[in-house]
């Protein structure tokens, strides 16, 4: 029996989807434990090139069941669209399960996400505009609507009717809430009920008691993967608040959002990119606004999977990853996108930060985001390898300088790097 959590160790988009697709080959159950369709997990495998948002990345293995856990927030029409796209590619998704306890993302959550961002003006978070934050707000405020409610039309209509007057009051409270057609539609009781109940009928065959699914898998000694969304630096508690998401990407969130005892998680695999990227606002100490940053973006195809936004790129930040190691207790790290560094003469790695205000050196992430914003990276330099690594299939076949780079990151992280990837395809994952 083994349960492995796969967790993002940076600002998201580390390659969690490709790692889960790779590991799921020998998994019986994959559980997404948090976030919603703000995620964009790209999977490139022998079946094709896929962009997943809600559906877990083990979906391409027919014998692997894939559960959307109770910790996920689900936009039913968006999930149906994703299922349709997979069906068109030949995947019927009979192996998809949806926890009945998962909360729903409603059209008014999407609207409120947008209004809230507009109101923040220059202080905006740069959310994915998918309504994720407001959906979790309603969950915590104990007025959310869940998958189980959607399965009962009367119940769903009653809950919707009860919540909409409050939603309309909130919407009209935004200074610039111009009542466009889109605004009216997002609060239109009849339209929402029709669209959601229709989507609910499409999803009904997948709905299950998620906890029971997980429990039975544990009982049978099956191999379970817990698939994270985003990364530590955007965690609601530990990330760069307020530039965070509204859930917990770290393993603490995995137990809660998948429905299994924390002590049953046997291993936690961190996923880190060989450099740094982020989408959305907030401090990013190693960000590069020069040709090197552009080279990372172009060679790494660093454009958001969900929103198409260019990702902010920079050198590897060992302080941020070490912070994540301390919070998540990784058994090991999968280091992705090493090939993106193939063309560089010299590489930089931030081993600490320095505060220009008082000269203090930081080896962890400060709680104060305004402090963090002014910290400057303290770099060490390593030689590049200027060799194409995309054809390498073994650790030994990597150029010596590439191995030395990985070994230095391993030292700085304080945990083994067990996997290194040199391209997006399954075969381009090297196990050490
Ligand atoms: P996730 O959100 O953590 O699943 O990551 P994303 O899928 O959003 O972003 C990672 C991107 O990098 C995807 O487009 C992957 O196909 C791609 N990718 C993953 N691993 C590698 C790698 O080793 N090399 C290259 N060149 N691309 C990779
Ligand atoms: P995956 O799972 C990268 C970022 C947004 C914003 C912040 C809050 O593919 O790694 P939200 O819409 O969640 O309220 O936005 O989090 N963000 C992501 N960045 N990858 C993602 O998902 C993201 N999901 C949200 O850009 O900064
Ligand atoms: Mg992504």
CATH code of the domain in which 218 resides? 3.40.440.10
Of 162, 180, 202, which closes a domain? 202
317 belongs to the catalytic site: no
Judgement on whether residues 346 and 277 belong to the same structural domain of the protein: yes
Distance 152 CA to ligand 2 centre (A): 32
Give the rounded percent of residues in the chain with a pLDDT score beyond 90. Answer: 95
- What average pLDDT does the segment 163-178 reach? 87
Q: Mean of the per-residue pLDDT values for the chain?
A: 96
Check which CATH number belongs to the domain holding 327 and give it: 3.90.170.10
**123 and 94 in one domain?**
no
What pLDDT sits at residue 174? 86
Residues 280 and 254 in one domain: no
Contact yes or no for 63/119 (Cβ under 8 A): no
76 and 49 co-located in one domain: yes
Q: Label residue 179 by pLDDT band (50, 70, 90).
A: low
| Whether residue 240 sits in one domain with residue 387 | no
Q: How confident is the model at residue 178 (pLDDT cuts 50, 70, 90)?
A: low
Q: Are 389 and 405 in a shared domain?
A: yes
| Residue 228 near ligand 1, beta carbon < 6 Å | no
User: Which of 64, 21, 29 has its CA nearest to residue 225?
Assistant: 29
Q: What CATH code is carried by the domain that includes residue 169?
A: 1.10.300.10
| Model confidence at 61: pLDDT above 60 | yes
Q: Which ligand is nearest to the CA of 302?
A: 1
| Ligand 1 center from residue 120 Cα (angstroms) | 31
Q: What is the pLDDT of residues 139-151, one digit of tens each?
A: 999 999 999 999 9
Q: Residues 95, 127: one domain?
A: no
Same domain, yes or no, for 88 and 158?
Answer: no
Distant-in-sequence contacts of 388-391, Cβ < 8 A, 24+ apart = 388/339, 388/342, 389/338, 389/339, 389/342, 389/422, 390/339, 390/342, 390/422, 390/423, 390/428, 391/422
Residues 277 and 401 placed together within one structural domain of the fold: yes
Instruction: Give 161 Cα–ligand 3 centroid separation in angstroms.
Output: 35
Give catalytic status of residue 103 as yes or no: no
Burial (Cβ within 10 Å: 0-12, 13-18, ≥19) of residue 126: middle
Per-residue pLDDT tens digits for 299-339: 999 998 777 889 999 999 999 999 999 999 999 999 999 99
Considering only CA atoms, which of 270, 279, 275, 243 is closest in space to residue 40? 279
Report the pLDDT value the prediction gives residue 184, as an integer from 0 to 100: 86
Of the candidates 168, 202, 236, which is a domain's last residue?
Answer: 202
Q: Domain total for the chain?
A: 3
pLDDT, tens only, 255-290: 999 999 999 999 999 999 999 999 999 999 999 999
Query: Are 41 and 155 in the same domain?
Result: no
* Residue where a domain terminates, one of 202, 228, 256: 202
Mean pLDDT confidence for 197-217: 98
Cβ neighbours of residue 205 under 8 Å, at least 6 residues apart?
Answer: none
Is the CB of 280 inside a 6 Å radius of any atom of ligand 2?
A: yes
| Mean pLDDT in residue range 91-102 | 97
Average pLDDT over residues 139-164: 98
Q: What is the 183 CA–ligand 2 centroid distance (Å)?
A: 24
C-alpha–C-alpha distance, residues 10 and 364, integer Å: 13
Residue 1 pLDDT level (bands cut at 50, 70, 90)? low
How many other CB atoms are there within 10 angstroms of residue 287's CB atom? 16
Are residues 364 and 308 both part of a single domain? yes
Q: Are residues 252 and 123 in the same domain?
A: no
Does any ligand 1 atom lie closer than 6 A to the CB of residue 339? yes
Domain with 92, as residue range(s), is 2-99+207-268
Q: What is the pLDDT of residues 6-42, one digit of tens each?
A: 999 999 999 999 999 999 999 999 999 999 999 999 9
Ligand 1 contact, 18 CB (< 6 A): yes
Kindly report the protein residue whose alpha carbon is nearest to atom 27 of ligand 2: 280
Does ligand 2 lie within 6 Å of residue 13's CB atom?
Answer: yes
DSSP 347: E
């Amino acid at each position: 029996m083994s349960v492995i959590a796969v967790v993002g160790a940076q600002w998201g988009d580390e390659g969690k989807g490709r790692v889960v697709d790779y590991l799921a080959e020998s998994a019986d159950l994959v559980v997404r434990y948090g976030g919603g369709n703000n995620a964009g997990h790209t999977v490139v495998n022998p079946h094709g090139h896929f962009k997943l948002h809600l559906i877990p990345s083990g979906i391409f293995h027919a014998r692997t069941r894939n559960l959307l856990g109770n910790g996920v927030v689900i936009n039913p029409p968006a999930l149906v669209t994703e299922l349709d796209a997979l069906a068109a590619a030949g995947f019927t998704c009979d192996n998809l399960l949806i926890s009945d306890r998962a909360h729903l993302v409603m059209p008014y959550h999407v609207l409120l996400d947008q209004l809230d961002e507009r109101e923040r003006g220059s202080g905006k978070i740069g959310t994915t505009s998918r309504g994720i934050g407001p959906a979790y707000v309603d969950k915590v405020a104990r007025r959310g609507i869940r998958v189980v409610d959607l399965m009962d039309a009367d119940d769903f209509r009653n809950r919707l009717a009860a919540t909409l007057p409050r939603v309309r009051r909130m919407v009209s409270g935004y200074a610039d809430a111009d009542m466009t057609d889109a605004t009216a539609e997002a609060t239109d009781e009849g339209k929402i009920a029709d669209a959601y109940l229709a989507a609910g009928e499409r999803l009904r065959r997948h709905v299950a008691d998620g906890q029971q699914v997980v429990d039975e898998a544990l009982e049978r000694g099956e191999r379970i993967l817990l698939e994270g969304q985003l990364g530590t630096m955007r965690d609601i508690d530990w990330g760069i608040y307020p530039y965070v998401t509204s859930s917990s990407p770290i393993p603490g969130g995995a137990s809660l959002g998948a429905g299994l005892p924390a002590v049953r998680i046997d291993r936690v695999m961190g996923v880190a990119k060989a450099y740094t990227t982020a989408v959305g606002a907030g401090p990013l100490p190693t960000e590069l606004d020069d040709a090197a940053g552009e080279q990372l973006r172009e060679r790494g195809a660093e454009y958001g999977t969900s929103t198409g936004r260019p990702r902010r790129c920079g050198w590897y930040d060992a302080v941020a990853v070490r912070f994540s190691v301390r919070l998540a207790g990784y058994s090991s790290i999968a280091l992705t996108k090493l090939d993106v560094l193939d063309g560089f003469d010299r590489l930089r790695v931030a081993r600490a930060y320095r505060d220009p205000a008082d000269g203090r050196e930081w080896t962890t992430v400060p709680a104060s985001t305004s402090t963090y914003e002014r910290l400057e990276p303290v770099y060490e330099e390593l030689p590049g390898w200027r060799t194409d690594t995309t054809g390498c299939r073994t650790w030994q076949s990597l150029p010596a300088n590439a191995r030395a780079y990985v070994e230095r990151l391993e030292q700085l992280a304080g945990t083994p790097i067990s996997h290194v990837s040199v391209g997006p395809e399954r075969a381009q994952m090297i196990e050490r």
